[in-house]
Amino acid sequence: MRGLRGIISFEGIEGSGKTTQARLLAEYLRDRGYDVLETAEPGGTGIGEKIRRLLLEPQNHMEPLAELLLYYSSRAQLVKEVIEPAIRRGTIVITDRFTDSTAAYQGYARGIDLGIISTLNEIVVPGIRPFLTFLLDIDVEEGLRRNRHARKEDRFELETVEFHNRVRKGFLDIAAREPERVKIIDASRPPGEVGMEIRKIMEESWHSGK
Ligand code: TMP
């Protein structure tokens, strides 16, 4: 895996375990001598963390367009402050969520036109794309159950099962359109098994020159 660089993203619904898997992959790559930067959206910068609080406070009612633009505000800050400098240094960026989350949540689930989201991508993340995305796929009820166990309760966790099913379907649709980049991982299995598959896919993808 010499010369590995660029962005690897982890995507999935609530409770899919992507945060754990992002951390495990970062540790694995660091153990092999790579310089790795871990980040997460929304957030990852001082301003981004403030925007994150606004976005996730359960008591806020937020207009879909206001929500969409706040995600892009956080992303604009993260890209300039963290991601672009890291890529220039040759660091591997592992991000817990990126633009596919916006397409799945604000596009497929909230109903905002996907064309608007791709226009915003051209403005905010021009030419910045993960070379590999792991979609941790899990049944919605199982994911929400895992999260409730962890006592997480933000504005999105209070959404209906139908909402989360639209998110899941959105992610699967993106993966079907871009199978080279987006790898679907069955996240209902134990974390160790999931991690092993992720490492295997990453190595294969790297050896095949992507
Ligand atoms: P997290 O729970 O993975 O930290 O993500 C916070 C929430 O934000 C999660 O419910 C998904 C949601 N989200 C969007 O709706 N759109 C986005 O673009 C991103 C990055 C996250």
Burial classification of residue 123, based on how many CB atoms lie within 10 Å of its CB (0-12 exposed, 13-18 middle, 19 or more buried) = exposed
**Could you tell me the residue range of the domain that residue 148 belongs to?**
6-207
Provide the Cα torsion 94, 96, 102, 105; round to 10°.
150
For residue 108, what is the DSSP state?
Answer: I
Provide the Cα torsion 13, 14, 16, 19; round to 10°.
110
Split into its structural domains, the chain has a count of 1
Nearest ligand 1 atom to alpha carbon 105: 15
* Residues flanking ligand 1, CB < 6 Å: 14, 41-42, 71, 97, 101-102, 105-106, 156
Say if 91 falls within a structural domain: yes
**Mean of pLDDT values over 183-191:** 97
Least confident range from 21-35, 114-128, 154-168, 176-190: namely 154-168
CATH number, position 177: 3.40.50.300
pLDDT-based confidence at 148, cuts 50/70/90? confident
pLDDT by residue (tens digit) across 111-124?
999 999 999 999 99
Which tokens sit at 65? 């367009």
Can you give the pTM of this predicted structure? 0.95
Nearest ligand 1 atom to alpha carbon 96: 3
**Distance in Å, CA 41 to ligand 1 centroid:** 7
Q: What pLDDT is recorded for position 156? A: 87
| Whole-angstrom distance, CA of residue 128 vs CA of residue 130 | 7
- Out of 2-6, 55-59, 115-119, 142-146, the most confident range is 115-119
Say if 15 falls within a structural domain: yes
pLDDT by residue (tens digit) across 44-77?
999 999 999 999 998 878 999 999 999 999 999 9
Q: What pLDDT is recorded for position 1? A: 55
**Distance in Å, CA 42 to ligand 1 centroid:** 6
Compute CA distances 124 → 62, 71, 157, 163, 181, whole Å.
22, 11, 27, 26, 20
**Mean of pLDDT values over 114-137:** 97
Say if 177 falls within a structural domain: yes
Say if 149 falls within a structural domain: yes
Say if 92 falls within a structural domain: yes
Say if 199 falls within a structural domain: yes
**Mean of pLDDT values over 15-37:** 96
Nearest ligand 1 atom to alpha carbon 157: 10
Question: What is the residue-averaged pLDDT of the chain?
Answer: 93
**Mean of pLDDT values over 185-204:** 96
Contacts of 26 (CB under 8 A, 6+ apart): 36, 38, 94
Say if 89 falls within a structural domain: yes
**Mean of pLDDT values over 90-117:** 98
Q: List the residue whose alpha carbon is closest to atom 18 of ligand 1.
A: 102
Q: What pLDDT is recorded for position 195? A: 98
Q: What pLDDT is recorded for position 3? A: 58
Q: Is the pLDDT reported for residue 4 higher than 80? A: no
Say if 1 falls within a structural domain: no
**Mean of pLDDT values over 147-160:** 79
